[in-house]
Structure 1
Amino acid sequence: MNRETHPSVGGTLEDFLEGLGEREEVYGAAIKRVLAWEIENARKQRSLTKSEMATRMGTSRTQVKRILDPHNVSVSLDTLEKAARSVGKKLKIELVDA
């Protein structure tokens, strides 16, 4: 097998995902998983319960569970910011060249 007969051989994962048209979706899901993991770790380090976190955010415990669910990618930036602040962190978003 070579690259000419099998285009996925020798390419990057980014090239493969781009070819499938799924690169942005995969990246978005990965970012959400990392944020959920970081917020959950900060919550545990501060010995906060999910109920205490919800109170700090002005929301329900059910909403906190959704935010911390790494597979739930439909969480707004505003909600992520509130979650970060509730555990003593700040959400930083940066626009960089591709």
Structure 2
Amino acid sequence: MSRNKHVGSSFDDFLESEGLLEESEALAVKRVIAWQVAEAMKAGNVSKATLARRMHTSRSQLDRVLDEADTGLTLDTLSRTATALGYRIKVDLVAPDVVVAKTQATKRRKSAVGPPVQVA
């Protein structure tokens, strides 16, 4: 009988063992960035042509910013995009153990709370 070596592990552990974690994380981050840029464009009623002109670039370059699958976005391009929309960028490096510790602490708190107690 074969046993699944991934039972009990996290999805991140699985992706890492398959060599897909970094690519998956990059794609997830890019999807968020593309969505945020599109939402900022909607909020400011800014067309692609107008934004490209503000960025001093082509619409095809802007299309790469908005392409969820294109992870080759540079910080320079992201910064120019944000500035042209009236925003700024913020980048943080987060240690993996911090994310795991927060997740585990949240699970402990939720399990420790239990059902509500009624007082007569």
The two structures have a TM-score, normalised by structure 1, of 0.90
List gaps (5 residues or longer) in structure 1: none
Query: In the aligned structure 1, how far is the partner of 2:22 from the partner of 2:68?
Result: 17
Higher Cα radius of gyration: 2
Question: Residue 72 of structure 1 corresponds to which residue in structure 2?
Answer: 70
Moved segments of 4+, more than 6 Å: none
- Quote the offset at 1:95 in angstroms: 2.1
Letter in 2 for 1:87: L
Amino acid at match of 1:12: S
Which of 58, 61, 75 is the equivalent residue of 1:60? Answer: 58
Local SS of the residue matching 1:83: helix
TM-score w.r.t. structure 2 length? 0.74
Deviation at 1:22, TM superposition (A): 1.1
Computed over aligned residues only, the root mean square deviation of the Cα atoms, in angstroms, reads 1.5
Counting matched residue pairs gives 96
What's the CA shift for 1:64?
A: 0.7
Structure 2 equivalent of residue 24 of structure 1 = 22
Identity of aligned residues (%): 40
Q: Deviation at 1:21? A: 1.2
Offset, 1:96: 2.6
Corresponding residue number in structure 2 for 1:12: 10
Q: After superposition, where does 1:32-47 map in structure 2 within 5 Å? A: 32-47=30-45
Gaps of 5+ in 2: 97-120
